[in-house]
C-alpha cells in the first residue's frame, strides 16, 4: 500500500473507533488504489481520499413508537449521506437489530462505488434503524415507519436523497414510509423513493433486479471461460428477496440451485429448490427455512455447519455481510467451486476474497455483481421523472445491458491497470475514478 494510502487508512481507523465493517470496506478499496495514485497525483493534491472516506452528512435520530400493548418503544434511526458528486444520494433503508452507525457507514461507502459503476447519475447513501420487524404486527410496523419518516422526511427528496428498501424493508415498509412522506409534505413526489408498488409509481423488475443481476453477472464471468450457468450446480445463501430472485433466475438459465438459508440454518435440496414453496414459506408466511424442508420430500435441513460446506460449481452469497469467511472459502475451493459472485453487500471477509483470488477463482465483488438493484432503482427514477411506465421486458433488457456494461468495465479497467481478469481491482478502480474526477471538477466541498 502506498505511504499516503497507509497514512489515511490509519486516520480512518483512529477517527472511527469500533466501526469494524466501515474500516473493512475502506481497507478493501484502498488495497486497489496504489496504481491509481501513482498515475494520478492530482487526486493526492485535491485530498480526494481524505474527503471520500468522510460522509458529507450523518444523521442520527430518535424513533419513538407505541406497540400493540400500548408500551412506548424507542429505537435509533440513521441516514448517512456519503457522497453526492455524481447525483442525489441513493441507497436503501435497513431495519435490523444489528444496525448501528458503523454498519450504516460501511453500506453508504460501498453504495458510492456501486452506484458509480452503474453509470447512472446517483450518489451514495444508506439508512436504517435498530428495529426488528420480525414477529411485529402490521400495525406496529406501520407506526414505526411513520415515526421514522416523521424525522427523515426533512432530509430526503428526489433531488436530494432517494431511499429504497434493504434488509427488513420491502414494498410494504416503503409504502408506509412514502405515505407518511406524502402526508407531511403534501406532495406526491414519486421520485423521492424507489422500490414502490407498481400501481403507485414503482418499476417492474425492481423486486427481481438485485437477484437477477447477480446471476447475470455470474453468467457473464463464466462465459469468459467458455462455460455458463446452464447445467451448473449452485449454492445460494439467504432466503430473502435477493436470494429468492437469484434462485429463480439461475434456474431459468439452466442451473440447479440446491440451497437456501436463514439465521437458523440451511436446506439442501438436490432436486433443486422449489421456488414457489420457498416463496410461500419465507415471503408469504414469513416462516423459517426449516418449514421448507418439512414440506419438501428429500430436502434436508441442517442447523449447524455452513451452507458453504456443500460442493457446488458456483456460489452466490446473498444474505448479509461477512457471512463467508476464510475457512468457508478454503472449503469451496477444495470442493471445486469455479465462480463466486456477491449478491449481498460485503458478504465475503478479506481472508475469503484473498483465498478466491489466490486460487484463480472467478470472483465478482458486491459493488459490481449486485449493482442491478440500484441500477433498476435509477430506472424507476427515470420513469417517475417522465411520468412514464415501461414494460417488464424493456426494463429487464435495460438491466441486462447494465450488468454486461459493469462486467466489461471491470475487465477493461483491471487490464488497463495491470491486473487482467481481477474483478476486485477493476471494480474498485473504475468506480473510484468516476467519483474522484467529479469531485475535482466541483471544487473543495
Residue pLDDT, tens place only, 1-48: 555 889 999 999 999 999 999 999 999 999 999 999 999 999 999 999
Q: What percent of the chain has pLDDT over 70?
A: 99
**Mean pLDDT (whole number) for 400-406:** 98
Residue 176 has pLDDT above 90, yes or no: yes
Contact 213, 399 (CB under 8 A): yes
In this prediction, residue 291 carries a pLDDT of 96
Question: CA 273: distance to chain centroid?
Answer: 23
Cell 457522497 -> residue: 83
Compute CA distances 297 → 52, 192, 235, whole Å. 52, 45, 19
Residue pLDDT, tens place only, 203-258: 999 999 999 999 999 999 999 999 999 999 999 999 999 999 999 999 999 999 99
Q: What is the dihedral of CA 139, 145, 146, 148, to 10 degrees?
A: 140
Catalytic hit among 90, 105, 126, 338: 126
Residue pLDDT, tens place only, 301-347: 999 999 999 999 999 999 999 999 999 999 999 999 999 999 999 99
Strand bridging mode 89-95 / 124-129: parallel
The helix (H) or strand (E) run that includes residue 58 is: strand 57-66
Contacts of 183 (CB under 8 A, 6+ apart): none
**Mean pLDDT (whole number) for 62-84:** 98
Residue pLDDT, tens place only, 404-444: 999 999 999 999 999 999 999 999 999 999 999 999 999 99
| DSSP H helices in 341-445 | 350-358, 366-369, 372-386, 392-416, 423-441
In this prediction, residue 1 carries a pLDDT of 54
Catalytic residue list contains 126: yes
Residue 263 has pLDDT above 80, yes or no: yes
Amino acid at each position: 500500500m502506498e505511504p499516503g494510502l497507509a497514512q489515511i487508512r490509519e486516520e480512518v481507523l483512529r477517527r472511527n473507533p469500533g466501526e469494524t465493517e466501515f474500516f473493512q470496506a475502506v481497507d478493501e478499496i484502498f488495497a486497489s488504489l496504489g496504481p491509481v495514485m501513482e498515475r494520478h497525483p492530482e487526486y493526492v493534491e485535491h485530498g480526494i481520499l481524505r474527503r471520500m472516506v468522510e460522509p458529507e452528512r450523518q444523521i442520527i435520530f430518535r424513533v419513538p413508537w407505541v406497540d400493540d400493548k400500548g408500551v412506548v418503544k424507542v429505537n435509533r434511526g440513521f441516514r448517512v449521506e456519503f457522497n453526492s458528486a455524481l447525483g442525489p444520494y441513493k441507497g436503501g433503508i435497513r431495519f435490523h437489530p444489528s444496525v448501528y452507525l458503523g454498519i450504516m457507514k460501511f453500506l453508504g461507502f460501498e453504495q458510492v462505488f456501486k452506484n458509480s459503476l452503474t453509470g447512472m447519475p446517483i450518489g451514495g447513501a444508506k439508512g436504517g434503524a435498530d428495529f426488528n420487524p420480525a414477529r411485529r404486527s402490521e400495525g406496529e410496523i406501520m407506526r414505526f415507519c411513520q415515526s421514522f419518516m416523521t424525522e427523515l422526511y426533512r432530509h430526503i427528496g428526489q433531488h436530494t436523497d432517494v431511499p429504497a428498501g434493504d434488509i427488513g424493508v420491502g414494498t410494504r415498509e416503503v409504502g408506509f414510509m412514502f405515505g407518511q412522506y406524502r402526508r407531511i409534505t403534501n406532495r406526491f413526489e414519486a421520485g423521492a423513493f424507489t422500490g414502490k408498488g407498481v400501481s403507485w409509481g414503482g418499476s417492474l423488475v425492481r423486486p427481481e433486479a438485485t437477484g437477477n443481476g447477480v446471476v447475470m453477472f455470474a453468467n457473464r464471468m463464466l462465459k469468459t471461460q467458455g462455460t455458463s450457468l446452464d447445467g451448473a450446480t449452485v449454492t445460494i445463501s439467504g432466503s430473502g428477496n435477493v436470494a429468492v430472485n437469484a434462485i429463480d433466475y439461475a434456474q431459468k438459465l439452466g442451473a440447479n440451485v440446491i440451497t437456501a438459508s436463514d439465521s437458523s440454518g440451511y436446506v439442501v435440496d438436490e432436486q433443486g429448490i422449489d421456488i414457489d414453496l420457498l416463496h410461500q414459506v419465507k415471503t408469504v408466511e414469513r416462516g423459517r427455512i426449516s418449514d421448507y424442508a418439512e414440506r419438501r420430500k428429500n430436502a434436508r435441513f441442517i442447523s449447524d455447519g455452513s451452507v458453504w460446506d456443500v460442493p457446488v460449481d458456483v456460489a452466490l452469497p446473498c444474505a448479509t455481510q461477512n457471512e463467508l469467511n476464510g475457512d468457508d472459502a478454503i472449503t469451496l475451493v477444495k470442493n471445486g467451486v469455479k465462480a463466486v459472485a456477491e449478491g449481498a453487500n460485503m458478504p465475503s471477509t478479506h481472508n475469503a476474497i484473498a483465498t478466491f483470488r489466490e486460487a484463480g477463482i472467478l470472483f465478482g465483488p458486491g459493488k459490481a455483481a449486485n449493482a442491478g438493484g440500484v441500477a433498476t432503482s435509477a430506472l424507476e427514477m427515470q420513469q417517475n421523472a417522465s411520468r412514464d411506465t415501461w414494460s417488464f421486458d424493456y426494463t429487464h433488457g435495460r438491466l441486462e445491458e447494465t450488468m454486461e456494461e459493469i462486467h466489461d468495465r471491470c475487465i477493461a479497467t483491471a487490464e488497463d491497470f495491470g491486473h487482467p481478469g481481477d474483478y476486485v481491482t477493476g471494480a474498485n478502480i473504475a468506480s473510484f475514478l468516476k467519483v474522484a474526477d467529479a469531485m475535482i471538477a466541483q471544487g473543495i466541498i
